[in-house]
Amino acid sequence: MNDWSLANIDELFSINERVITYIDSPLGVVAVVMIGATNVGKISVVYDAFLSNVARATTASRAYEPPVPIRAGDRLGTFHMGSSVVVLFEPGRIDLKRVRLEAGKKVRYGAAVLHSER
C-alpha cells in the first residue's frame, strides 16, 4: 500500500481484495495472502481461472483434489496494478535468523525471503 492510501482511506485493509493460497511445504502449511490495492483491476493465479474483484461482498473457497503442485520459485499469481503480499508460516517452523526481510523494505519478484540453511 502506498503512503497516501494508508493515510487517507478509512478502513483500507478491510476493503482491499484478498486471495489466499495455502501451500503444504517442508515448513508446514504456508498461507500466501495476495492483497490487491484499492485500484487493482484483479488478481489472477496460475492454478485457477476464477475472476477476482467481481463482487466485493462475496467470499469463495476452493479445494483442489489432487492438490496443484507448486514448486519453490514458481509463479503463483499476478496483480493487475498494485499489490502487497503477506506470507504466514506455522509458529515455530522457521528459524527467524534465516529471514531476509525488513519492515518497510520492498521485496522484488524472485527474491529469496529466507537465507539458505546453514
Q: Is residue 27 a part of any domain in this protein?
A: yes
The boundaries of the domain holding residue 55 are: 3-98
Q: Is residue 73 a part of any domain in this protein?
A: yes
118 has a pLDDT exceeding 60? no
Q: Is residue 112 a part of any domain in this protein?
A: no
Q: Is residue 13 a part of any domain in this protein?
A: yes
What is the rounded distance in angstroms from the CA atom of residue 43 to the CA atom of residue 23? 18
Q: Is residue 111 a part of any domain in this protein?
A: no
**Model pTM?**
0.74
Q: What is the pLDDT of residues 12-38, one digit of tens each?
A: 777 777 888 999 988 899 999 888 776
Total domains in the chain come to 1
Q: Is residue 86 a part of any domain in this protein?
A: yes
Q: What is the pLDDT of residue 1?
A: 63
Q: Is residue 108 a part of any domain in this protein?
A: no
Look at residues 2, 78, 84, 73 and name the one whose alpha carbon lies nearest to residue 35.
84
Q: Work out the average pLDDT over 32-49.
A: 81
Query: Residue 55 — pLDDT band, cuts 50, 70, 90?
Result: low
Q: Is residue 109 a part of any domain in this protein?
A: no
